[in-house]
Copies of this chain bind each other. A is one copy, B any other.
Amino acid sequence: MNDSALRFVTEQLASGHSLVEEYITETKELRSRGVPDKLFEAMEYSLCAGGKRLRPILCIAAAKKCGLPERSALPMALGLEMLHTATLIHDDLPCMDNDDMRRGKPSNHALFGETLAVLAGDALLAQALEFPMFHTEGVPAANLLKALGIFTAAVGPSGVCGGQTLDMFKDAEPGCGARRIASLKTGALIRAAVLTGAALAGAGGDIFAACDEYAVHLGAAFQIVDDILDSTSTAEELGKTPGKDVLQDKITYVSQYGVDRARVLAREESAAASAAIRDFFGNDDFLVLLPEFLVHRSN
């Protein structure tokens, strides 16, 4: 990846990040309406605890590329980030990965207790769907319904919740490998991020199918890179509890294939992702360049 492409993607990610952060701030009052203060505080703590905002950025970028103004994609984009946050809160619980630290800060239950952490996760999961349903503007009802369908399907038991089950229980599905786990636990929401954006914009046919293929490969590349970084970093570097065994004997691309083979797989997935949309979006597009950028990160 050349320097100017690197700089371009970095700038696009930074401006997307700012846009999402501003929208989070702008909608605070709206999101807190009718919500008990104590619950909102716990939800907001984790929603505002940092993060790359990759899912909302993907949604907005796909929507724009398919012809929708970014304002119309923002509520769905925020919904995706709320859902992602909900899964992180529940993943950290003592009965899940039991981690008191997240992104270098106390995890939700470490600060607010388990009771409120379970409720904050539930509440963010529900609000993730409620928010775009009520606050999306300038989108035909049919497009919104299609996007919501993609989103809810990604969240449920055949999506993120199913993936988390496979991640926690090695015996949950006989013969289940890293690819299947990642495709649900991480891949489903990355795919939903791209496809909800495309659906809101009314994309169909070949472009929608190309976005789908792109998103599936991007999700795989993203998870492989994450697994590589987890295996080559200390808990401190990852913002987790110092000394913690981050991998906890889990099935990952690295545990299954080794680091070297995982790097090759990441490059293959990245190339397949870009190839899927290059003809539609061009060589210099943010979404086309992003997969290689992510892989670059793990080298």
Contacts and interface: CB of A to CB of B under 8 A. Distances in A.
Interface of A: 33-40, 43, 90, 93, 95-96, 113-116, 118-119, 121-127, 129-130, 133-134, 141-142, 144-145, 148-149, 152-153, 155-162, 164-166, 168-169, 171-173, 176
Nearest to A42: B165
Given A39-B172, A123-B162, A126-B160, 14 more contacts: A33-B158, A36-B162, A38-B169, A38-B173, A39-B165, A90-B122, A93-B118, A95-B115, A96-B115, A116-B165, A119-B164, A122-B125, A126-B157, A130-B153
Contacts of A118: 90, 93, 95-96, 118
A176 B36 CA distance: 10
B157 A35 contact: yes
B37 A172 contact: yes
Contacts of A160: 126
Nearest to A96: B115
8 contacts: A35-B157, A95-B114, A115-B168, A116-B168, A125-B125, A126-B155, A130-B156, A141-B142
Nearest to A83: B126
Q: How many copies of this chain sit in the oligomeric assembly?
A: 2
A149 B161 contact: no
A36 B165 contact: yes
A172 B115 contact: no
Grouping DSSP codes into helix (H, G, I), strand (E, B) and loop, the A interface class, with mixed when no group exceeds half, is: helix
B96 A168 contact: no
Contacts of A159: 126
A162 B126 CA distance: 11
Tell me which of A36, A123, A162 has the highest count of chain B C-beta atoms within 10 A of its own C-beta: A36
Contacts of A168: 115-116, 119
B126 A152 contact: yes
Given A122-B125, A156-B126, A161-B39, A149 B169 contact: no
Contacts of A148: 133, 148
B39 A119 contact: no
Given A95-B114, A145-B141, A161-B123, A173 B130 contact: no
A35 B158 contact: yes
